[in-house]
């Protein structure tokens, strides 16, 4: 009688198991890379928001400086005081008083442009504030 060698048979169940493990490994790698890119994106967004609000705070401090400059020494003309303090005077015929511009950097790609109106009585009011990309000035 002949001895038979044991036959190793790979059945359909074994093939499905190997294929399932391979698919699960691929999905886990894809999930890991997706979560890593989401983390980088959320860090970038958080940095952009915090930079923006820091610039907002600086712009508000600059507005307080402008108000102090307007309320300052009346012997020196207002336009000279504003230019000495680093503010830009804009020509705007639609506003009844003087229009002043100042810029606050947000990051290396954006700035905040604030437009402020000063009426004849010396009242300072922010007309608008706009975020501008550096190339759009």
Q: Which residues pair with 118 in a beta bridge?
A: 98, 124
Say what the pLDDT of residue 33 is: 93
Give the model's pLDDT for residue 79. 84
| Parent domain of 114 | 12-136
Per-residue pLDDT for 24 more than 90?
yes
Q: How many domains does the chain have?
A: 1
Assess contact for 124 and 66: CB atoms under 8 A.
yes
Give the contacts of 134 (CB within 8 A, at least 6 positions apart).
Answer: 108, 109, 110, 111
Q: Is the pLDDT of residue 137 over 60?
A: no
* pLDDT score of 86: 85
In a domain, 86, yes or no: yes
Confidence category of residue 61, pLDDT binned at 50, 70, 90 = very high
pLDDT confidence of residue 46? 96
Name the percent of the chain lying above pLDDT 70: 91
Has residue 111 been placed in a domain?
yes
What pTM, to 2 d.p., does this model score? 0.70
């Amino acid at each position: 009688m002949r001895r038979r060698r044991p036959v190793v048979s790979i059945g359909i169940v074994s093939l499905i198991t190997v294929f399932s493990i391979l698919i699960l490994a691929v999905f886990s790698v894809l999930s890991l890379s997706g979560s890593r890119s989401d983390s980088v994106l959320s860090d970038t967004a958080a940095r952009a928001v915090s930079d923006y609000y820091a610039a907002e705070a600086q712009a508000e401090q600059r507005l307080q400086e402008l108000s102090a400059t307007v309320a300052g020494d009346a012997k020196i003309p207002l336009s000279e005081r504003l230019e000495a303090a680093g503010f830009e005077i804009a020509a705007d015929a639609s506003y009844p008083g003087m229009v002043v511009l100042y810029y606050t950097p947000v990051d290396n790609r954006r700035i905040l442009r604030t437009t402020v109106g000063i009426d004849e009585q010396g009242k300072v009011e922010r007309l608008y504030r706009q975020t501008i990309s550096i190339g759009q000035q």
